[in-house]
Structure 1
Amino acid sequence: MPHANGGDADLYYEVHGSGPAIVLSAGMGGSGAFWRPQLEALSRRHTVILYDHAGTGRSARDVGPRSIAEMARDITRVLDAAGIADAHVVGHAIGGIVGMELALAAPERVRSLTVVNGWGKADAFLRRCFEVRTGILRCSGPRAYVRAQPLFLYPPRWIAENIAALEEEEAHMVAHFPGEDTMLQRINTFLAFEGGARLNAIRVPTLLAAARDDALVPFYLSGQLARAIPGARLAEVDFGAHAFTAVTPDVFNAMLLDFCGETDR
């Protein structure tokens, strides 16, 4: 499988399908595999690029602390390696923060921006959620951290109905965990992000996709982003929680395809 080589970290990426490009940037875990529920539907119309963030997955691991600006440049390195001039940039949570940074730093590479359950500034509620998660990681280790993760990502009923698949996924995630130091560095970096007045300078077409039942990143934070980014469109779903892209993939896929198609037209 290809890597974007050079720079300070080799980045694993995959290219699927054909058509206008979409690059998908994962959330806290950093793995491109997060987007598997989107792959088939999107690749029918688009060139779809999945990649693992530096320090995670199959990308270079021992990269040390990484700034959001560096993570945004990583997307351009992946696009360059794939021979793609510009793409619809889609980011989940912290992947959305990276997408916003890229839209500010290199708007010519961004056909459109989609931020899924993101934020422009972490408030007291979000900080407390991550305080609990980091406490679990520090005190009980990666296995306990991964064990607790579905409680922050998915609706309770969906967890109950998909427990067998979650148990299987849990073993895989523990085996491929980025490492305690890397995860803590990532959490600290993104909690420190404050878009502020800079977000007003984003001029690419922007979709803010958010779930009203997200218990980790509250829906109102997407509303704040909508007021900060000129012309941003806020699209909401009632069910699916923080990872509604996996819980109700058909809903998200249709939403994204409509937005990208409208932008391309």
Structure 2
Amino acid sequence: MYHEWHGNTDPQAPTLVLSSGLGGSARFWGPQLPLLGERYRVLVYDHSGSGRSPATLAEGYSIATMAAELLALLDSLEVNRCHFIGHALGGLVGLELALQRPALLLSQVLVNAWSSPNPHSARCFAVRKHLLNDSGPAAYVQAQALFLYPADWIAANSAQLAEDDAHALAHFPTPANLLKRIAALQAFNVEAHLGQVHTPTLLIANRDDMLVPWQRSQHLAQALPNGRLCLLDYGGHASSVSDSATFNRVLLDYLAEHTG
């Protein structure tokens, strides 16, 4: 899979692995890379079948498969221990990593993630699938900001969003791949195994997230043996972009706590 190293080049520096959400693009983490790179070795990657990681995803593609693909990449790069940060679908990958290879993870930060389906998110993803199937990629991309960001942020950042939309459309995955990725996150359910995840875990959630109810992160914080919830008031589903200053402060504080 396509990947990039950023930040500290010292091989002894703590390693961070960042995994984005449904879009699967390393580009999502742009607001975090400059600050994280001051101290950490940071690995970002494009998920298989998206962006610069071309692949035809198989039937039955799952979050467990995504985690196995990432483990293969980390093995090839000789990453044996790391801190993991995952947004939405990327957070589900983090839970799978913690189940498949718990010794890998020193800590993890899961942003607006979940451990099982919920009716509200199912309705949102049904709408997104209808947009893709009935109206095409351009309509899907145009609607994406409505699910990710607060209304006032969208109104104030139209130029940036136009640039982001153009980039997303130019690098849009095949609809078949995207539908399989949506099916994978809709099928994800690790409720029965949460007690086995002993990795120190910060759950970051946003009260104004209109895609994933913040209570899904609250549930994870209560069910994970070493879970902790940080509930933010503003930022929507992607506060790492829409309120990056607040998000970055929370992230850096937690990482500092777990890296000495």
**TM over 0.5, shorter chain:** yes
2:130 is aligned to 135
Deviation digits for residues 162-205 of structure 1 (CA, Å, limit 9, x no counterpart): 00110111111111101111111111111111111201100110
SS at match of 1:37: coil
Name the structure 2 match of 1:55.
49
State the partner residue of 1:26: 20
Write the mapping of 1:52-131 to structure 2, written as runs, cut at 5 A.
52-65=46-59, 66-131=61-126
- Indicate the residue corresponding to 1:231 in structure 2: 226
Deviation at 1:82, TM superposition (A): 2.7
Q: After TM superposition, give the deviation of residue 80 of structure 1 in Å.
A: 2.4
CA-to-aligned-CA distance 1:10-29 (integer Å, 9 cap, x gap):
x0000112220100001000
The CA deviation at 1:77 is 2.2
Q: What is the SS of the residue equivalent to 1:226?
A: helix
Q: Percent identity?
A: 46
Q: 2:40 aligns with which of 31, 41, 46?
A: 46
2:242 is aligned to 247
Residues of 1 paired with 2:79 and 2:113: CA distance?
Answer: 26
Q: Could you say what the CA RMSD is over the residues aligned between the two structures, in angstroms?
A: 1.1
Residue matched to 1:144? 139
TM-score (norm 1): 0.93
Q: Structure 2: which amino acid aligns with 1:24?
A: L
Q: Give the 3-state SS of the residue equivalent to 2:256 in structure 1.
A: helix
1:166 to 138, 161, 164: 161
Amino acid of the structure 2 residue aligned with 1:48: V
Is the contact made by 1:79 and 1:86 (CA closer than 8 Å) also made in structure 2?
no
What is the alpha-carbon distance in structure 1 between the residues aligned to residue 131 and residue 49 of structure 2? 21
TM-score, normalised to structure 2, is: 0.95
Amino acid at match of 1:46: Y
Give 1:237 deviation, angstroms: 0.8
* Structure 1 segments of 4+ aligned residues over 3 angstroms from their partners: none
Structure 1, unmatched stretches of 5+, are 1-10
Whether the aligned pair in 2 keeps the contact of 1:107 and 1:204 (CA below 8 Å) is yes
Aligned residue pairs, count: 255
Q: Is the 8 A contact 2:83 2:108 kept in 1?
A: yes
1:259 corresponding residue in structure 2:
254
